Amino acid sequence: MVGGVDVAYLGGFGIAAAVVLDYSTLEILESAVATCPVKVPYIPTLLSFRELPPALAAIRRLKVQPDVFFVDAQGWAHPYRCGFACHLGLALCKPTVGVAKSRLIGEPTEVDGRTLLLDKGEAIGEAVTIKEHSKPVYVSVGNMVSLETAVEIVHQCSRSRVPEPTLQAHNLAARTKSKLAEGHL
């Protein structure tokens, strides 16, 4: 099983969504949402301190725990080598993969048919294009997984540009935010 986590914001609240999908079929097995007051302001490169509390609250509501979590954020491809995907993996003591839609650091460099993100000569992630003629996503190690395995799992769990676990978590967080904004929750 594979999970996805994403956090949306409304006023002073973080709205986290966690989903669990079957690895083979990508069918949603379970989902959970949690809303928490945001206690940490937005500080570039320190987003994990803002997103961790609501994400953990949503994950704790899951009855089924996945084998790996995808996070809509950076992992090792971060100036401190500890983006939200790393931070979450350490907090959970579980494998995590960072799958970001934009590049924070590193230069895309072709190496043996792969587009690695290099920073000061170190491979910190990989630019992965799922659909031909679409923008890549930036995959990096979060916790307890190799870059090669992370990229393989991303390919297995993708039907479009964004892997299904993070796409479903994003959609659930956005729907919940919209319902809260309209006063329906």
Domain ranges of the chain: 2-181
Query: Listing from the earlier edge strand, what are the strands of the sheet with 13-21?
Result: 28-37, 13-21, 2-10, 68-71, 96-100, 137-143, 122-128, 114-119, 107-111
Dihedral angle, C-alpha 115, 117, 123, 125, nearest 10 °: -90
Residue 59 Cα to chain centre, angstroms: 13
Tens digit of pLDDT for each residue in 50-93?
999 999 999 999 999 999 999 999 999 999 999 999 999 999 99
Dihedral angle, C-alpha 86, 90, 95, 100, nearest 10 °: -20
Q: What's domain 2-181's architecture?
A: 2-Layer Sandwich (3.30)
Tens digit of pLDDT for each residue in 114-131?
999 999 999 999 999 998
Dist CA 66 CA 68 (whole Å): 5
Banded model confidence at residue 151, pLDDT cuts 50, 70, 90: very high
